Amino acid sequence: MIKQTDLGGSFTLTGTSMTANRMGYGAMQLAGPGVWGPPRDVDGAIAVLREAVDSGVNHIDTSDYYGPHVTNQLIKRALHPYPGELVIVSKLGARRGADKSWIPALSRQELIDGVHGNLRNLGLAALDVVNLRVGGMMEPSEGSIEKPLTVLAELKGQGLIRHIGLSNVSPKQLAEAQTVTEIVCVQNFYNVAHRNDDAFIDDLASQGIAYVPFFPLGGFTPLQSSELDTAAARLGVTPMQLALAWLLQRSPNIMLIPGTSSLKHLRENLRLHSSTFLPKCLRFSTQSVNKKRSFDMRVFVTGATGFIGSAVVRELLDAGYQVLGLARSDAGANSLAAAGAEVHRGSLEDLDSLRSGVVASDGVIHTAFIHDFNNYGPAAEADRRAIEALGTALAGSGRPLLITSGTLLAQSQGRLATENDTPNPAFPRKSEEAALAVAERGVRVSIVRLPPSVHGKGDHGFVPALINIAREKGVSAYIGDGLNRWPAVHRLDAAHLYRFVLEKGTAEANYHGVGDEGIPTRQIAEVIGRRLHVPVVAKSLKESSIILAGSGTFSVSTHPPQARSRGSGWVGSRNSRDYSLMLTSHITSPPVCRQWGDH
């Protein structure tokens, strides 16, 4: 069993069960000078391999033309029999001349011989992944790769290769390759200074394909090297550590294979933690230069993959902002990268990850909340602690903090709630109290209050829950005369409000994200009943408590607060439509479970 450490998180190769830590190891430097012959210190090379694996590395990149044969033989001697979690990736497409030259080797027989050479020297029955290496020394050369790739696909069919990748290829060559066989990874030249593959990386991330950059420090000009040196010295790290950290934050599908024959350098690389060395320390953003930006402002968004947060991310990106999105899972990180946002790994409970996200940003939009209504008190406390952590990191900086609250919290029994209403102190959620507390410490904080129904594509909230209750109970119920009203807003309009407040908001002000000031609950019940073909009934407050028992979703009130938005220039109607049509769209869909977002 490989000891698992924090090595930049993990990535699962598409279409496989192979999951590897994003910080791997490249074996090329284990060979002698010029990647030729044995190393000067064979025992030292073996020690490097063993310590890498003992430290949690479970992805090793190699090739039988390193040495030639030397690195594969060292890997076998050091690690065979191999741990079950270890993924060994080899390359084909070259051979070494007697003069130590690198010679293309892409003929059918050369590829077959190369596979058997790798198998023999590694002591394997099948190779985990084989990369087809084509092109020039550092850059792809356009041209068809179908012929050599077809040979590898045949060897895969024979069980000698499990999965296939590409090295030194263009997007056009990838597209051609995917008509021949599934591609699980691409290995190209890329680093903070050489970013020709920015668009390629974004496309690969959207497909779930790993991108493995080689030469992470190669190709720097003296000026760029000087900037790296200065930033690294300021942080107390090495330039290599900072360059690798930048790559880890660039995209969640990037997997690293830094090579070294030195235990000291290996330990430096493996001490890397992607949230420690922040890209803000460089003038180079980790945002893809493939995206056109009109703002230099980077906004940290919590709940960035949730129902509302994902709409906020899209709104900001479309407006030209850089976005740093909080993600707790690989799936969330992949979706953010596919959208064009930067990824910041962490969670609502990981306060250090929240603070480091703030440090790397110019403003914060907090949309995350743990929507576990069976444990609402602990969820509310987690939210309060998160706001306190965000505020502490922002104190005195003048950078904006937007907090999410709800119109239900407003004390306005029996009348329209306005932004001037204070929150109900009896309500367990203390988002606004926490926001005002950090405001007293000099944080420029604004509060966005959302209504109980935020609707749109992917809504798993208020209306779907009512529909599910009606399905379960066989009646669609409303309370009393049904004239009490629930305000609503479309999620895209809510996202527009967040950007409006970010750009034009007033400190310590409340903003109501309300598109419809109030929908009579009887009208909602009637539409649900009509579409589900169940009776619509009026219930007393006591009876309704029985109907809703176990839903864990709503605070039942005969007069839930209605709300309206301030006359501030925000128009919440870009996506408005008849509420009955919105209800109908939910009812024609199968029942869903209530779970909002990745915090």
Q: What tens digit of pLDDT does each residue of 44-93 get? A: 999 999 999 999 999 999 999 999 999 999 999 999 999 999 999 999 99
What's the mean pLDDT in 164-193? Answer: 95
Residue 558 CA, chain-centre distance (Å), reads 41
What's the mean pLDDT in 280-293? Answer: 52
Residue 48 CA, chain-centre distance (Å), reads 32
Same domain, 250 and 340: no
* Token duo for residue 455: 């609707």
Domain extent for 361: 298-587
Residue 440 lies in a domain: yes
Q: Which of 257-266, 271-280, 368-377, 495-504 has the lowest mean pLDDT?
A: 271-280
Question: Greater confidence, 117 or 489?
Answer: 117
Task: Check if the beta carbon of residue 463 is closer than 8 Å to that of residue 586.
Answer: yes
**Each residue of 221-265: pLDDT tens digit?**
433 556 677 777 877 788 888 888 888 888 889 999 999 999 998
Task: Check if the beta carbon of residue 220 is closer than 8 Å to that of residue 190.
Answer: no
Same domain, 254 and 181: yes
Residues assigned a catalytic role = 66
Q: Which of 417-426, 478-487, 568-577 has the lowest mean pLDDT?
A: 568-577
Tell me the three state secondary structure of residue 417.
Answer: strand
**Each residue of 288-313: pLDDT tens digit?**
655 544 456 899 999 999 999 999 99
Give how far Cα 570 sits from Cα of 309, 363, 497, 563, Å: 19, 20, 6, 15
Tell me the three state secondary structure of residue 343.
Answer: strand
Same domain, 248 and 303: no
Q: What is the CATH number of the domain that holds 222?
A: 3.20.20.100
Residue 207 lies in a domain: yes
**Per-residue pLDDT at 274 exceeds 50:** no
pLDDT of amino acid 220: 41
Residue 182 lies in a domain: yes
**Per-residue pLDDT at 395 exceeds 90:** no
Task: Check if the beta carbon of residue 360 is closer than 8 Å to that of residue 342.
Answer: no
Pairing of the two strands 298-302 and 322-327: parallel
Question: Greater confidence, 332 or 192?
Answer: 332
Same domain, 347 and 464: yes
Burial group, residue 370, by CB count within 10 angstroms (0-12, 13-18, 19+) = buried
Task: Map tokens 């001697």 to a residue.
Answer: 77
**Per-residue pLDDT at 574 exceeds 90:** no
Residue 593 lies in a domain: no
Q: What is the CATH number of the domain that holds 499?
A: 3.40.50.720
Alpha-carbon torsion 204, 208, 214, 218, what sign?
positive
pLDDT of amino acid 243: 85
Residue 2 lies in a domain: no
* Token duo for residue 492: 């895209």
Same domain, 460 and 366: yes
pLDDT of amino acid 120: 98
Same domain, 253 and 395: no
pLDDT of amino acid 217: 63
**Each residue of 104-160: pLDDT tens digit?**
999 999 999 999 999 999 999 999 999 999 998 788 998 999 999 999 999 999 999
* Alpha helices, DSSP H, located in 271-414: 309-318, 330-339, 351-359, 376-394
pLDDT of amino acid 443: 92
Same domain, 219 and 118: yes
Residue 592 lies in a domain: no
Same domain, 260 and 319: no
Q: State which of 245, 278, 311 marks the end of a domain.
A: 278
Question: Greater confidence, 542 or 418?
Answer: 418
Give how far Cα 16 sits from Cα of 13, 98, 163, 202, 207, Å: 6, 38, 8, 21, 14
Task: Check if the beta carbon of residue 356 is closer than 8 Å to that of residue 271.
Answer: no
Same domain, 269 and 347: no
Q: Which of 186-200, 267-281, 583-597 has the lowest mean pLDDT?
A: 583-597
Determine the Cα–Cα distance for residues 504 and 319; give it in Å rounded to an integer: 14
Same domain, 240 and 327: no
Give the chain's domain count.
2
**Per-residue pLDDT at 373 exceeds 60:** yes
Same domain, 466 and 496: yes
**Each residue of 331-366: pLDDT tens digit?**
899 889 888 899 999 999 999 999 988 888 889 999
∠ CA 30-31-32, rounded to 5°: 120
Determine the Cα–Cα distance for residues 257 and 262; give it in Å rounded to an integer: 15
Q: State which of 247, 278, 309 marks the end of a domain.
A: 278
Q: Which of 319-333, 344-358, 425-439, 571-585 has the lowest mean pLDDT?
A: 571-585
Same domain, 237 and 326: no
**Per-residue pLDDT at 591 exceeds 90:** no
Question: Greater confidence, 505 or 590?
Answer: 505
pLDDT of amino acid 222: 37
Residue 17 lies in a domain: no
Question: Greater confidence, 392 or 515?
Answer: 392
- Reported as a pLDDT band with limits 50, 70 and 90, residue 178 is very high
Residue 5 lies in a domain: no
